[in-house]
Structure 1
Amino acid sequence: MSYEANTDLEAAPAPGAPNSLFGWLVDGLNAAGSVVIAIVMLLMCADVLLRDLANRPLDGVAELVASSIVVIVFLQLPGTLRHGRMSRADLFIDPFIQRRPRAGKRLRALFSLAGVLACSIIAYATWPLLARAWSDSEFFGVEGVFTFPTWPMRAVVLLGAALAAVQYVLLAIQDLKEAR
């Protein structure tokens, strides 16, 4: 659970990874996101092959791929944060932490709290959309050709955003402890 660069794939896992139920959950969702990526790749390849060889494209591939991108992002967001692989601009914060470690860690904790706020807003805004999708049986696609329910995608967004908010809280706590 660290922001520090972690690109040595041969190195042993971080001392605390995944040593908790939360860690296992986040890493499991990350793995599920990778499985969705593999399924999407197979689906697109099958669609291209069937389109070219048999002139019979698969119905709904465009809709499934579009919605799966959102699913993949929110399945993998908490794990990306947990393992310090979130894209960020290090041009300012890393040199600042090197020069003034306590102030730098506090500033990074403040950034994490902004992440908590952003992810909490996403989760809060998704809840009514999930409830409506469930109660109204909302579907994506073209009726009579290919449809699928929207509620699973909305549930993944809610879960991923909520877990990312929790992960940001943990990162802020870690930085504040290190700043002491």
Structure 2
Amino acid sequence: MLLIRLSDGLTRSLMVLGAIWAFALCFLILADIIFRALGTPLSGTKELVANSVVIIVFMQIGFAVRSGSMLRATFLVDMLPPRLQRLLFILCLVAGAGIFFFLLHAAITPALRSFANGEFDGEGALRVPVWPARFAILFGAGLAGVNYLILLLAELLGLRLGNLTLWGGFDV
């Protein structure tokens, strides 16, 4: 299905970009530590890291949903009959989609306001724009909601979707 392939491709790409960004951030933090030891810290590191963490999380949350990596505690659910397990799974998928679509809706106004007002974080030599982090929340929440809906439809229609993997294939 086209929607699944588009979502999976986008989900995978954002996960890889987020991982690369996190890796690069490690070097920025290391450089700041070294320069602090030399008495000249890098300006704006705190602001860059704070906004980057938000962006990285929301770039990767769609992958966590679609790959089945979201946090679950199944020790009690495993003791229930299979039909009740399936019902709970469906309810959790509906709740997950609802939460992320609610987050998407709630984040629209702050993201637009941040962009329109030119909101920045930090003072002095380096001021970091906040709007990319706010739009990452929008986009990531929307993609996570779509991925929950894909999983829900697959469950309701009895489709077998393999877990999305970074390098391997998956079944549709």
Fold conserved (TM > 0.5)?
yes
8 Å Cα contact 1:106-1:176 kept in structure 2: no
In 1, the alpha carbon distance for the partners of 2:14 and 2:78 equals 29
In the alignment, structure 2 segments of 5+ residues that lack a partner are: 160-172
8 Å Cα contact 2:11-2:62 kept in structure 1: yes
8 Å Cα contact 1:109-1:172 kept in structure 2: yes
* Match in the other structure for 1:122: 103
In 2, the alpha carbon distance for the partners of 1:176 and 1:103 equals 14
8 Å Cα contact 1:110-1:172 kept in structure 2: no
Structure 1 vs Structure 2 CA RMSD: 1.8
8 Å Cα contact 2:7-2:147 kept in structure 1: no
1:94 aligns with 2:75: no
8 Å Cα contact 1:139-1:149 kept in structure 2: yes
In 1, the alpha carbon distance for the partners of 2:79 and 2:15 equals 30
* Match in the other structure for 1:145: 125
Following TM superposition, by how much is the alpha carbon of 1:41 offset from its aligned partner in structure 2, in angstroms? 0.5
Following TM superposition, by how much is the alpha carbon of 1:93 offset from its aligned partner in structure 2, in angstroms? 2.6
In 2, the alpha carbon distance for the partners of 1:167 and 1:118 equals 12
- The alignment-based identity, stated in percent, is 32
**SS state of the match for residue 137, structure 2?**
helix
The amino acid across from 2:130 in the alignment is T
1:41 to 9, 16, 26: 26
1:62 to 21, 46, 66: 46
Following TM superposition, by how much is the alpha carbon of 1:95 offset from its aligned partner in structure 2, in angstroms? 3.7
In 2, the alpha carbon distance for the partners of 1:69 and 1:116 equals 23
8 Å Cα contact 2:32-2:42 kept in structure 1: yes
Which residues in structure 2 correspond to 1:133-172 (within 5 Å)?
133-142=114-123, 144-172=124-152
* Match in the other structure for 2:156: 176
1:50 aligns with 2:38: no
In 2, the alpha carbon distance for the partners of 1:177 and 1:92 equals 26
CA 1:171–1:89 in 2, change beyond 3 Å: closer, same or farther? same
Structure 1 runs (4+) deviating above 4 angstroms are: none
8 Å Cα contact 2:47-2:128 kept in structure 1: no
Q: Aligned residue pairs: how many?
A: 157
Following TM superposition, by how much is the alpha carbon of 1:150 offset from its aligned partner in structure 2, in angstroms? 0.9
